[in-house]
């Protein structure tokens, strides 16, 4: 195979791998880009390396990069999820200030803020009951009645 065709093929593989990597948020194809770069370097030696050898080099380098670098890179790329102020409400106790019924949203006061509240099990929770926040669905607190008074 002509040297410039091999060079063009490996450059195309490199560009496609970089584009795919740029379009994702995970490490998906950077390994193939590294393997393609090494294959490009070997393709620069005219008439010395057949195309099938460069394919083997591509896959071996890509695999070695994947095995050696991915665990380290993944560790540094992990996103730290930090709780927002709203997430801290989960598990807190609140006071029902407007009765919560199956088809009517009520109101719950938690940390001196009034929220729309719905029951986790669609049961009626009377005014002045103490509830615990189970989750947040949109802008509503999903609550369950507690035995505290």
| Domain-wise residue ranges, the chain | 3-77, 86-145
Distance CA 19, CA 142 (A): 43
The CA angle 131-136-142, to the nearest 5 degrees, is: 35
Give the model's pLDDT for residue 59: 93
Tell how strand 113-119 and strand 106-110 pair up: antiparallel
**Tens-binned pLDDT, residue by residue, of the chain (149 aa):** 577 788 899 899 999 999 998 988 777 888 899 999 998 888 887 667 788 888 999 999 999 988 988 888 777 777 666 666 677 888 899 999 999 998 888 999 998 889 999 998 888 999 999 999 999 888 899 999 887 65
At 45 the pLDDT is 75
Q: Residue 49: exposed, middle, or buried by beta-carbon count in 10 A (0-12, 13-18, 19+)?
A: middle
CA gap 2, 8 in Å, rounded: 10
CATH topology classification for 86-145 = OB fold (Dihydrolipoamide Acetyltransferase, E2P) (2.40.50)
Measured CA to CA, the distance from residue 130 to residue 146 in angstroms comes to 6
């Amino acid at each position: 195979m002509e040297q410039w065709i091999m060079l063009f093929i490996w450059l195309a593989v490199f560009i496609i791998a970089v584009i795919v990597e740029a379009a994702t948020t995970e490490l998906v194809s950077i390994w193939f880009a590294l393997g393609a770069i090494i294959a490009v370097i070997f393709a620069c030696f005219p008439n010395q390396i057949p195309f099938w050898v460069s394919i083997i080099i591509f896959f071996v380098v890509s695999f070695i990069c994947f095995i050696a670098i991915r665990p380290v890179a993944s560790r540094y790329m992990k996103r730290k999820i930090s709780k927002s102020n709203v997430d801290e409400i989960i598990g807190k106790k609140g006071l029902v200030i407007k009765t919560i019924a199956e088809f009517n949203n009520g109101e719950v006061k938690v940390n001196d803020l009034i929220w729309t509240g719905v029951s986790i099990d669609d049961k009626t929770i009377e005014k002045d009951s103490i509830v615990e926040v189970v989750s947040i669905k949109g802008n509503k607190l999903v609550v369950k009645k507690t035995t505290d008074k």
